[in-house]
Amino acid sequence: MRWAALALAFIAPALAAEDPALYPAAQCAALWFGQDDYARASTLLDRDPQDLHLAEAFRQVALRQTTQSPEVINDFIKKQRPIMAFMVEAYIFGGDRQSRDVYETLMQDCAVFAATQPETKALR
């Protein structure tokens, strides 16, 4: 998962340049959807209904912020969701340090961003 840490460092700014809604809003939505996907499939992580609520709230922010179509946002989330689930699995089940680092960075970025958006500021 070493590629994931590098990807976050280099891809996030590129995504924001492509469409400011992709990072962090759509990426955070994908993270929360992916975490829920992993929790549904695993006995190692309890499912938290709040995860889907957070995912949808971040998706709504992305839809509001997009400079493209809603389909671009939804497709991005759809493609990133299994990657995020795999990252959560690699971190929790596999104890992968790079996955943990990326996960923690994304969680921090999402928390900071959430505090600034009307759809997410009251959550968690």
Residue 75 has what DSSP assignment? H
Q: Name which residue leads in pLDDT, 3 or 113.
A: 113
Residue 10 binned pLDDT confidence (cut-offs 50, 70, 90): very low
Q: Which of 26, 48, 54, 28 is nearest to 36 (CA)?
A: 48
Instruction: Please report the pLDDT score of residue 11 as a whole number.
Output: 56
Q: What is the mean pLDDT of residues 100-116?
A: 95
Res. 69: pLDDT tops 80? yes
Question: Residue 59 CB: number of other CB atoms within 10 A?
Answer: 23
State pLDDT tens for residues 39-49: 999 998 999 99
Residues 42 and 58: their CA atoms lie apart, in Å, by: 24
Taking CA atoms, 33 is separated from 14, 15, 53, 63, 87, in Å, by 22, 19, 9, 16, 12
Residues 116 and 118: their CA atoms lie apart, in Å, by: 7
Q: Name which residue leads in pLDDT, 72 or 3.
A: 72
Q: What is the pTM of this model?
A: 0.87
Instruction: Please report the pLDDT score of residue 17 as a whole number.
Output: 63
